[in-house]
Amino acid sequence: MPSELISNTTIRKARWKKGLLFSFLFLIILIGSGFVYEMIASKLGEQAFPMQGKLIQIDSGNYQLHLQRTGESRKGVPTIIMEAGSGETSLSWGDIPAQLAPFATVVTYDRAGYAWSTKARTERTGEHIVRELHEALDKEGIKGPYILVGHSLGGMYARLFAQTYREEVTGLVLIDARTEDYMRETASIYAQETNQERPSAFLLGLMKSSGVLRLFQDSLLEGLVAKEKRSQFINVIAKPSYFDAVEEEVKLLGSTEDAIRGQKLGDIPVRVIPRGIPHPFSNAGISEQGAKKLEEIWQAGQRRMLDISMNSKLIVATKSGHMVINDEPQLVVDVTKEVLSLTTATKN
């Protein structure tokens, strides 16, 4: 082979390697810039949403739990504890706590990993979640009796709290709450009807840390987070610890379901508020027939929850989808006040 041909081949290989090296370095710089950009933007963004409550050291889980108390304590009046749904935080309740504050002390909080609460060392089982909440209440001197108001997955935790601390709970408000049988009753439908995989907590956390979620928020959060709440979501809520906590809570739901299955809470006032507008399951690729079946199972479960107490009542949120706390907050306030009046009258 002529020497000049060998020389040209060597030069081309060297140029190719050099180009590849520069491309790799450019990619590293680009990714690094994304992380730096997100770090600076997050620090600035957090200043627009200062923490409203306080951080309480949870010894059992070795983390700090964010808890906010609204309203003054009143002798003989139960404290209202708000338990948010999966992926929802203390911010999700909007003005509901403020509307209830003239009548009772209202407590909102963030579970471990959510919003201002730090990541826990313990597994995100229902048992750990309710015991850590009780520890926080005890440390803050917020004694029972309590009325638990739980939305969606938070309804299951509210029920478990009532079961664990039976003598301290005098009422329950369950807002389109997930039931203990929903997962096993619907598993086959979801398996047959959808191939969509939820992004892993690792991937979601990487998207946040690299600035991708912030830069492309309009497309990535469309249909998931309201436009007016996206800045709050990105700057306060969407941290790697949040995605980890949400994923782990769902993964460990089984133990909570088993714990509350067949639950009986005597005659404490229980109010069940199911949605009146069917859930848009088709957005997850579910067929019309499958969506109808899923909604029937959900609604049947709502009515079965009436069996947990001899003093229960169903109040349908006729104008609401699953997010009743956003669609009909006044209904949540009114029903909670009703339970409050019943439990206060009973105590007096």
Q: Convert the pLDDT of each residue in 268-286 to its tens digit.
A: 999 999 999 999 998 878 8
Does pLDDT of 1 surpass 50? no
Write down the pLDDT at residue 343.
85
Write down the pLDDT at residue 5.
43
Query: Dihedral through CA 221, CA 223, CA 226, CA 231, nearest 10?
Result: 0
Mean pLDDT of 283-295: 90
304: left (phi over 0), alpha (psi -120 to 50) or beta: alpha
Domain annotation covers residue 42: no
Domain annotation covers residue 145: yes
Does pLDDT of 10 surpass 90? no
Closest of 45, 161, 48, 55 to residue 112, by C-alpha: 55
Residue 102: band (very low, low, confident or very high) from pLDDT cuts 50, 70, 90: very high
Domain annotation covers residue 219: no
Residue 198: band (very low, low, confident or very high) from pLDDT cuts 50, 70, 90: low
Starting at the edge strand found earlier in the chain, the sheet holding 311-314 runs 54-58, 63-70, 106-109, 79-83, 146-151, 169-175, 269-273, 311-314
Q: Convert the pLDDT of each residue in 135-161 to its tens digit.
A: 999 999 999 999 999 999 999 999 999
Average pLDDT for the chain: 85
79-88, 176-185, 217-226: the lowest-pLDDT one: 217-226
Closest of 204, 198, 226, 202 to residue 91, by C-alpha: 226
Residue 6: band (very low, low, confident or very high) from pLDDT cuts 50, 70, 90: very low
Domain annotation covers residue 202: no
CATH of the domain at 262: 3.40.50.1820
Q: How far apart are CA 271 and CA 274, in angstroms?
A: 10
Write down the pLDDT at residue 34.
47
Mean pLDDT of 225-240: 77
Q: How far apart are CA 291 and CA 295, in angstroms?
A: 6
Domain annotation covers residue 83: yes
Q: How far apart are CA 225 and CA 94, in angstroms?
A: 14
Report residue 277 as tokens: 């507008």
Closest of 154, 122, 132 to residue 65, by C-alpha: 132
Domain annotation covers residue 299: yes
Domain annotation covers residue 24: no
Contact between 173 and 331 under an 8 Å Cβ cutoff? The reply is no
Write down the pLDDT at residue 162.
98
Give the pairing type, strands 106-109 and 311-314: unpaired
Backbone φ and ψ for 265, nearest 5 degrees, come out as -115, 30
Domain annotation covers residue 96: yes
Write down the pLDDT at residue 81.
99
Write down the pLDDT at residue 190.
87
Report residue 212 as tokens: 């991708």
Write down the pLDDT at residue 30.
44
CA 94 remoteness from chain centre: 14
Domain containing 245 equals 54-195+234-347
What's the N-to-C CA distance of the chain in angstroms? 104
Q: How far apart are CA 111 and CA 201, in angstroms?
A: 17
Query: For the chain, what is the domain count?
Result: 1
Report residue 309 as tokens: 């107490």
Does pLDDT of 45 surpass 60? no
Q: How far apart are CA 150 and CA 80, in angstroms?
A: 10
43-57, 145-159, 187-201, 291-305: the lowest-pLDDT one: 187-201
